[in-house]
Amino acid sequence: MIRVLIVDDHAIVRVGIKRLLQDVPGIRVIADLCSGEETLSFIRKDQPDVILLDVRMPGIGGLETTRRISKLYPDIKILAVTAFNDNPYPSMVLQAGAAGFLTKDSGVDEMIDAIKKVFKGERYISPEIAQQLALKSIGETSAPTPTSPLEGLSEREIQVMLMLTNGTDIQDIADKLSLSTKTINSYRYRIFEKLGVKNDVELTYYAMRHGYIDKLNYAQTEE
């Protein structure tokens, strides 16, 4: 029996995936959670075999969650899930330790296949994402210059950027990433400089235009 944990900040997504998997032989959903912080707390007590993990969530986010789980619990297989496949997330999350990457528009058969494959120790990448990674690799060989300013950000800078655009204040970001506020501010100003923005509002709209956050997530932070 493959024990699966679902992690997504949208309840409707968690419920939908849970219903799709509830009658699948050999798979059992043990819980569904809404954040990386909840996930890290949960797996200290009960470790799943596979985690279906949303890449973009408030708080520490899917990228940092993946890194921490891969370091502390290497036997847990992480299958990253996202609604977007045209940004640097796939390669970054795979480098952080994810065993696979799946888009949210994947069919139920593909999701089940992906879960079973990563459980067995194989890697699974959705065909469209695999194509993107292949094209990116070819592009880097011929033209190493980033095609978008966002691709020039480091992994940590993207983490800080996503927390800022989710409305997380500097102190909370520092606490979540175990860094000083001075270090976070340094990242913040470096991000501004690289992207040519002047404040957090401009940063949020910039990230929205490039597909790193969507209007739904932004609206939730405004409430």
- Does residue 66 share a domain with residue 6? yes
Residue 129 shares a structural domain with residue 174 = no
**84 vs 209, residue with greater confidence:** 209
Does any domain span residue 119? Answer: yes
Q: Report yes or no on 141 lying in a domain.
A: no
Most confident segment among 14-28, 92-106, 122-136, 140-154: 14-28
CB 85 within 8 A of CB 132: yes
Residue 220 has pLDDT above 90, yes or no: no
- Quote the number of domains for the chain: 2
Cα torsion 42, 47, 49, 50 to 10°: value is 20
Among 89, 109, 136, the domain boundary falls at 136
How do residues 162-211 score in pLDDT, each as one tens digit? 888 878 889 999 998 889 999 999 999 999 998 889 998 888 888 777 76
The residue range of the domain holding 109 is: 2-136
Phi, psi (rounded to 5 degrees) for 29: -80, 120
Same domain? 164 vs 216: yes
Residue 79 inside a domain? The answer is yes
Alpha carbon distance 168, 84 (integer Å): 22
Count Cα atoms within 13 angstroms, Cβ side, for 36: 23
Q: What is the pLDDT of residue 222?
A: 40
pLDDT surpasses 50 at 218: no
Q: Could you read off the pLDDT of 8-67 as tens digits, one per residue?
A: 999 999 999 999 999 999 999 999 999 999 999 999 999 999 999 998 888 888 888 999
Residues 21 and 84 in one domain: yes
Mean pLDDT of 134-139: 51
Average pLDDT value over all residues in the chain: 83
